[in-house]
């Protein structure tokens, strides 16, 4: 048995923002298109739409023995309550990715040592496509640029295989715009 823990990711926000689908897409990209291992755990607040919602994803080259995220390497937040709840769990040197119009970092929001922050106006980008509902796909594109855990190609393929039939073109554009925003504003990651 290996102690390898893989890359731990937590995506959190409100129900209805596509949090769980975002986690499923990352897991699908790794497991199906890169032939590696992934787990997904999800939790919802008492009311599904508008309540607290989070997805815990672990991505690994090896079998995953424990499916729960304790200290994420990557924390993606799409609501202020999600930031409040999960920021203290971010691993030292981790990455905080946030929807910059819905989440504000304030004085007193302590980042772990060595952590880096990446903000994206995913809602505005989605509204530019006239479909606010694709904000989660914009986020997945952005994550693929600034915290690449899978190749951009695998992530994009996973998006196209995860969205309702007939919406592939729209979601492909949403992914591309999120990815481009990450590359243009943060240089992406190597």
d(CA 64, CA 5): 7
d(CA 108, CA 118): 18
pLDDT of 46 above 70 = no
d(CA 154, CA 5): 21
> C-alpha 144: how far from its chain's center?
9
Q: Which CATH class is domain 7-103+110-183?
A: alpha beta
pLDDT at 4: 53
pLDDT of 44 above 80 = no
% residues pLDDT > 70 (the chain): 93
Joined together, the tokens standing for residue 189 give 């990651």
pLDDT at 82: 94
Is 45 in a helix, a strand, or coil? Answer: coil
CB 175 within 8 A of CB 138: yes
**Considering only CA atoms, which of 150, 146, 142, 90 is closest in space to residue 114?**
90
Q: Give the helix, strand, coil percentages of the chain, each rounded to 5.
A: 40, 20, 40
The structure's pTM equals: 0.92
Q: To the nearest whole number, what is the mean pLDDT of the chain?
A: 90
| Average pLDDT estimate for 32-43 | 91
Condensed to tens digits (0 to 9), the pLDDT of residues 111-151 reads 999 999 999 999 999 999 999 999 999 999 999 999 988 99
């Amino acid at each position: 048995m290996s102690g390898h823990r893989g890359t731990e990711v937590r995506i959190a926000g409100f129900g209805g923002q596509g949090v769980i689908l975002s986690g499923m897409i990352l897991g699908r990209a790794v497991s199906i298109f890169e032939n590696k291992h992934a787990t997904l755990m999800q939790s919802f607040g008492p009311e599904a739409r508008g309540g607290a919602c989070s997805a815990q994803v672990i991505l690994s080259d090896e079998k995953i023995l424990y499916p729960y995220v304790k200290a994420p390497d990557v924390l993606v937040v799409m609501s202020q309550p999600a930031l409040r709840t999960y920021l203290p769990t971010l691993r030292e040197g981790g990455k905080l990715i946030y929807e910059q119009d819905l989440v504000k970092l304030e004085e007193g929001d302590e980042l772990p040592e060595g952590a880096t922050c990446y903000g994206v106006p995913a809602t505005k980008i989605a509204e530019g496509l006239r479909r606010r509902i694709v904000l989660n796909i914009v986020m997945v594109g952005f994550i693929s640029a600034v915290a690449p855990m899978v190749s951009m190609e695998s992530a994009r393929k996973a998006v196209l295989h995860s969205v309702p039939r007939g919406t592939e073109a729209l979601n492909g554009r949403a992914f591309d715009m999120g990815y481009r925003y990450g590359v243009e504003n943060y240089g992406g990651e190597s």
